[in-house]
Amino acid sequence: MAPSAIYYDEQQKPLGGAGAALEAISDAIDQINMLKGKAAGNKLPLIQAQATNIIIPPPSPPLSATSSTFSSSSSSSSCPGDGDNTSDHDLAPSLAENTSSTFDTTPQFDSDKDKSTFRDFSPSNTRIFAFYAEQHAKQTVAYNLSARARFHSASRVRPQLSIWEAMEKLNTLIDDSDPDTQLNQIQHLLQSAEAIRRDGKPRWMQLTGLIHDLGKLMLFFDGAQGQWDVVGDTFPVGCGFSDKCVFYEQGTFEKNPDWGHQAFGTRYGIYSPGCGVENLIMSWGHDEYLYLVVRDQSTLPREALAMIRFHSFYPWHREGAYMEFMAPGEGDKELLKAVRAFNPYDLYSKTDEVPDVEELKPYYLELIDEFFPNKKIKW
């Protein structure tokens, strides 16, 4: 039986005037913080304190199909997103702890690869285009609120599997959003981890490569609607869609109920410049799901959590969109550096030879034990 959840009407009613836009923004913030309060339990006072500092930006015109390139800003404020800052999770070390400067050295494994053959998002690839047309139409603020409510619901029975058991369970999945590989998932995970290992990167980063796609287990559990809310490039909801998102020019976002919305379709939407990328509500999928699972059940550092949560956020880490939401200072810059350091091992390792799973298993079982205190993970 599917877990109980709070659902909201995705069909937004027309709003008129600046007052209505501000009211819609305020309502969205209230809904988001209410859900965060239910999910966080004893973290409620912190969330309430954050909510009192939210700055509602003045309404700006809805984005047109040709005017969604955003500029950066240095101002800072709190945001109503679903992310948690470093102080919110107990196990993950800070940036200065348990990390190594070697994580962002230049990759060597892909030096002889033709990178132009990767991420071919031509509309003529009908399977990929159909996937993104559905994803872009359905990833709304309303859906994201309901998905998070399902995940955090006290009545949801969370399956318990070890990391390796999760990898084996995922092994039958072929990702409909990926134009670069037809390998099964355990092969891709080991390819990523082995490329990181061969380049001498830290052990925590090797493990991150091994587990980074395990959130795709969502497809086997109650709640996932299909591949569109599990895989694919991610983007923030609650603000204007960037033209750096794949297939934007083909109008794939125009069927989304939030397109042109008085609150969610504006440049900054329910956020404000400089609020911090960790506070954005990212489109629901395997990245966000695994991040929520791992942040509370591992000792992986903050860089690793960023690699997991944002590795599919290509409009940001590859195309330079949404930079206006990065917080001032070095914190978000370090996160971006970490995600960019990880990306080649996710993307360009897909053409490497198929790894020998049984030969590599003992090494990675030891690595898993190093960073996960409990054998069984609550998914």
Give binding residues as ranges: 119, 175-177, 188, 212-213, 216, 232-233, 286, 311-312, 346
Contact 92, 297 (CB under 8 A): no
Binding residues for substrate are: 119, 175-177, 216, 232-233, 311-312
Task: Report which of 75, 7, 95, 29 is spatially closest to residue 300, judged by C-alpha positions.
Answer: 95
329: left (phi over 0), alpha (psi -120 to 50) or beta: left
> Exposed, middle or buried by CB within 10 Å (0-12, 13-18, 19+), for 328?
middle
- Cα(311)–Cα(206) distance, rounded to whole angstroms? 15
Contact 6, 146 (CB under 8 A): yes
- Chain centroid to CA 333: 17
Q: DSSP string covering 237-288, please?
A: SSSPPPTTSTTGGGTTTTTSTTTT-TTTTSSSTT--TTS-GGGS-BPSSHHH
- Chain centroid to CA 343: 13
Binding residues for Fe cation are: 188, 212-213, 286, 311, 346
Task: Report which of 374, 378, 366, 376 is spatially closest to residue 207, judged by C-alpha positions.
Answer: 366
Structure tokens at 294: 């791992």
From residue 290, how far is each of 215, 246, 263, 298 by CA, in Å?
5, 23, 29, 11
> Exposed, middle or buried by CB within 10 Å (0-12, 13-18, 19+), for 296?
middle
